C-alpha cells in the first residue's frame, strides 16, 4: 500500500501549486476539492499517470482442482 501525499508550494505572488501522489484514479479530485475551494480559483490542472491508472483489486479466492486417474 502506498502513502497518499499532498504537497503545496506557495509562491510569493500568491499562486499555489498542489501535487497529489499515491492516489490512483479520479478520487484525488474528491480528496482535494475542499482544500481547493478554500484556496481560491483553480487556474490549471495537470493530470498524472496515477490519475489515469485503474485501481488493482486482488482477489483472495483460491480454487483447487484435483483429477484422479481411472486406472
Mean pLDDT, to the nearest integer, of 57-65? 64
Q: What is the pLDDT of residues 9-28, one digit of tens each?
A: 999 998 899 898 888 888 88
Give me the pLDDT at residue 11, please. Answer: 92
Beta carbons of 6 and 32 less than 8 angstroms apart: yes
Give me the pLDDT at residue 1, please. Answer: 58
Beta carbons of 18 and 5 less than 8 angstroms apart: no
DSSP string for 7-67 = EEEE-TTS-EEEEEES--STHHHHHHHHHHHHH---------HHHHSPPP-----------
- Asked which of 4-18, 20-34, 51-65 is least confident by mean pLDDT, the reply is 51-65
- pTM of the full structure: 0.61
Residue that has been written with the C-alpha cell 479466492 in this structure: 61
Give me the pLDDT at residue 58, please. Answer: 63
Amino acid at each position: 500500500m502506498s502513502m497518499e501525499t499532498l504537497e503545496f508550494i506557495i509562491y510569493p505572488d500568491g499562486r499555489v501549486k498542489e501535487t497529489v501522489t499515491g492516489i490512483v484514479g479520479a478520487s484525488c479530485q474528491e480528496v482535494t476539492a475542499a482544500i481547493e475551494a478554500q484556496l481560491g480559483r483553480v487556474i490549471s490542472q495537470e493530470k498524472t499517470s496515477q490519475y489515469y491508472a485503474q485501481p488493482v483489486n486482488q482477489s483472495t479466492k483460491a480454487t483447487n482442482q484435483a483429477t484422479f486417474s481411472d486406472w
